[in-house]
Amino acid sequence: MAHPQMFEDDDPFLARVRAIAMEFPEASERISHGRPNFYTTRTFCYYGGSVRRDGQWIAHDRAVLVRPDPDDAPALRVDPRFWAPAYLGPSGWLGLDLGDDPDWTEIAELIDASYRVTAPARLVRMLPPLG
């Protein structure tokens, strides 16, 4: 049984996340478990996710899910804006709700870090150096 689509095609926040994610070398998009997923050989960003608390599923439909840089992960894990998404949290993924007025520079930096953690080294070498 296929998952239902859990996003709106005309969501302007998704359009912005898509524009950021698709700038990376060999980035592609697919729908996985009803949500947009950006990947090369492995996923580097999801749009939307959920958490399970007290036996209830809580949807975070306007959120990005990323694998943070290992050096940044401890600080992000204690930042109350971030949460561990269902299924992905144990593998190091974090979610961030976009809210009404996202900091698109921060979102782009998080997606960049996630790409660098998940993409093949040959693709990461195509990116400008950090710093």
Burial class (CB in 10 A: 0-12, 13-18, 19+), 11: middle
Does a structural domain hold residue 103?
yes
- Tens digit of pLDDT for each residue in 29-53? 999 999 999 999 999 999 999 998 8
Does a structural domain hold residue 48?
yes
Q: Can you give the CATH number for the domain in which 37 is found?
A: 3.90.1150.30
Question: Cα–Cα–Cα angle for 99, 31, 119, nearest 5°?
Answer: 85
DSSP label at residue 128: P
In this predicted structure, what is the pLDDT of residue 89? 93
Does a structural domain hold residue 129?
no
**Residue 54 — very low, low, confident or very high, per pLDDT cuts 50/70/90?**
confident
Q: In total, how many domains does the chain have? A: 1
Range of the domain at 91: 14-124
**Residue 62 — very low, low, confident or very high, per pLDDT cuts 50/70/90?**
very high
- For 87, left (φ over 0), alpha (ψ -120 to 50), or beta? left
In this predicted structure, what is the pLDDT of residue 130? 86
Does a structural domain hold residue 6?
no
Does a structural domain hold residue 110?
yes
- Tens digit of pLDDT for each residue in 67-122? 999 999 999 999 999 999 999 999 999 999 999 999 999 999 999 999 999 999 99
Does a structural domain hold residue 105?
yes
In this predicted structure, what is the pLDDT of residue 127? 97
Does a structural domain hold residue 94?
yes
pTM: 0.95
How far is the first Cα of the chain from the last one, in angstroms, to the nearest whole number? 46
Does a structural domain hold residue 4?
no
